[in-house]
């Protein structure tokens, strides 16, 4: 099978982790008879430098023609004072909106080898495995009116019925494949838009009577994620709340450098590590490639629909961590500090060994 992947390495450590992801894609693809055809394009600050525009039509057109998009990271100090529409982040938002990627899946799961590496206690973490399902193309990120003048700044948090319905449906469908429990997170005690969200989510739940639904206020949810994360299966929430809660969830895994994501729509899909462009360590071969590599696992799972390939990548990550390899962000006493390249090479080796030991008949 031939599969077209558009690569958007972006800024900062984006190119380094994208390079790691490509090596893993090629390796695993060859084991499952998939030929990846890569098309690399600029996005974010890199695109602004080249064209004065963080997302060109050329990049967008390439994405429309692809089977799947992989993105590294966008942003950096250099572009922080640009007008809003020229900022690297604006490119990511436009891309999400243009491709209709309304469902952002951010899994927070504990890797056994890292359970002592987190700032959270291991008995709190052990067994944690939940997904933050973030609405990605609506809410305050896109609501009109928006702007600022000399005396005021304003944004609008707005959701229409269909936007809430489709993300709620996705949450219940995902929950059915897992522990059948959805926690819908909102701020219905203060915000009308949240009250509306809550009403629609409950309406949708009537079609999924086998899935349990709880409501939780966002401030409480932030506390519960660090107090007792095991209670969650699917956290369903809006764009802004999901942005914040998924960073908190990153600490479940010990580092944002471990958190992968999938952004899914009806037609397109984009995979990206949740961590940003980390300009302070860019180009130094220090970045943790595991979030990008775990995003490849998600690609095999959600887009290519080859769960065995996804498991192979996941197992290689577990094994490499169990062998004690750590990039700086997850380093702890007694472990081996490695570079981006060393981590990636070991992952590739472990993929090969695991595959030879447990051959998968394709």
Kindly list the catalytic residues.
141, 187, 219, 243, 247
DSSP track, 234-291: EEEE-HHHHHHHHHHHHGGGTSGGG-EEEEE-SS-EEEEESS---GGGTTTT-S--HH
Taking CB under 5 A as the rule, which mask of x and - marks residues 187-226 in contact with Mg ion? ----------------------------------------
Q: Rounded to an integer, what distance in angstroms lies between the CA atom of residue 188 and that of residue 254?
A: 31
> Contact between 243 and Mg ion (CB under 5 A)?
yes
- Among the listed ranges 62-70, 88-96, 120-128, 278-286, the one in contact with ligand IPM (CB under 6 A) is 88-96
Give 243 or 314: the residue with its C-beta nearer to Mg ion. 243
- Pick from 11, 243, 314, 329: which binds ligand IPM (CB under 6 A)? 243
In angstroms, rounded to a whole number, what is the distance separating the alpha carbons of residues 150 and 315?
A: 54
What is the bridge-based pairing of β-strands 325-326 and 260-264?
unpaired
Among 92, 113, 235, 291, interactor with ligand IPM by CB under 6 A? 92
Residue nearest to ligand IPM (CB): 89
Stretch 284-313 residues interacting with ligand IPM (CB under 6 A): none
Chain CA centroid to CA 191, Å: 27
256-275 residues in contact with ligand IPM (CB under 6 A) are 274
Interface characters, 59-78, with ligand IPM (x: CB under 6 A)? ----------------x---
Q: Smaller CB distance to ligand IPM: residue 45 or 75?
A: 75
Write down the residue that tokens 């090596």 correspond to. Answer: 23
Q: Sketch the per residue contact string, 203 through 242, with ligand IPM: x for CB under 6 A, - otherwise.
A: ----------------------------------------
Stretch that binds Mg ion, among 41-49, 144-152, 239-247, 348-356 (CB under 5 A): 239-247
Angle subtended at Cα 337 by Cα 335 and Cα 340, rounded to the nearest 5 degrees:
135
> DSSP 3-state assignment of 3?
strand
Q: Give the chain's count of helices (H) and strands (E).
A: 12, 14
Please check whether residue 136 is in contact with residue 101, taking contact to mean a CB–CB distance below 8 angstroms. Answer: yes
Q: Are the CB atoms for 215 and 180 separated by under 8 Å?
A: no
């577990």: which residue's tokens?
Answer: 318
Determine if 11 is a binding residue for ligand IPM (CB under 6 A): no
Q: Which is nearer to ligand IPM, 135 or 233 (CB)?
A: 135
CB-wise, 95 or 290, nearer to ligand IPM?
A: 95
Q: How far is CA 272 from CA 8, 166, 282, in A?
A: 10, 22, 17
Shortest approach of Mg ion to residue 100 CB, angstroms? 20
Q: How far apart are CA 350 and CA 356, in angstroms?
A: 10
89 is a site residue for ligand IPM (CB under 6 A): yes
Residue ranges in contact with ligand IPM by CB under 6 A: 75, 89, 92-93, 243, 274
Residue ranges in contact with Mg ion by CB under 5 A: 243
């Amino acid at each position: 099978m031939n599969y077209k992947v558009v690569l958007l390495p972006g800024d900062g450590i984006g190119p380094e982790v994208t390079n790691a992801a490509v090596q893993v894609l090629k390796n695993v693809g060859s084991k499952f008879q998939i030929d990846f055809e890569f098309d690399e394009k600029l996005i974010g600050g890199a695109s602004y430098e080249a064209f004065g525009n963080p997302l060109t039509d050329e990049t967008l057109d390439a994405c429309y023609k692809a089977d799947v998009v992989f993105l590294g990271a966008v942003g950096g100090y250099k572009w922080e004072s640009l007008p809003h529409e020229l900022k690297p982040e604006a490119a990511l938002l436009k891309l999400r909106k243009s491709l209709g990627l309304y469902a952002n899946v951010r899994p927070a799961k504990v890797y056994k080898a890292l359970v002592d590496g987190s700032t959270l206690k291991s008995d709190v973490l052990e067994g944690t495995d939940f997904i933050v399902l973030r609405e990605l193309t609506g809410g305050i990120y896109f609501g009109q009116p928006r702007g600022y003048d000399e005396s005021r700044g304003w944004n609008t948090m707005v959701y229409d019925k269909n936007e809430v319905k489709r993300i709620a449906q996705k949450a219940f469908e995902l929950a059915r494949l897992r522990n059948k429990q959805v926690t819908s997170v909102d701020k219905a005690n203060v915000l009308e838009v949240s009250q509306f969200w809550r009403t629609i989510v409950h309406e949708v739940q009537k079609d999924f009577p086998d899935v349990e639904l709880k409501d939780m206020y966002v401030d409480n949810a932030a506390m519960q994620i660090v107090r007792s994360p095991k209670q969650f299966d699917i956290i369903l929430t809006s764009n802004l709340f999901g942005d914040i809660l998924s960073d908190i969830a990153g600490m479940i895994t010990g580092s944002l450098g471990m958190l992968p994501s999938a952004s899914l729509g009806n037609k397109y899909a984009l995979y990206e590590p949740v961590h940003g462009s980390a300009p302070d360590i860019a180009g130094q071969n220090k970045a943790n490639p595991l979030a990008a590599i775990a995003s490849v696992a998600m690609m095999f799972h959600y887009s290519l629909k080859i769960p065995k390939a996804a498991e192979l990548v996941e197992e290689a990550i577990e094994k490499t961590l169990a062998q004690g390899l750590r990039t700086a962000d997850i380093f702890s006493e007694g472990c081996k500090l490695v570079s981006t390249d060393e981590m990636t090479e070991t992952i590739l080796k472990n993929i090969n060994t695991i595959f030879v030991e447990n051959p998968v008949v394709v």
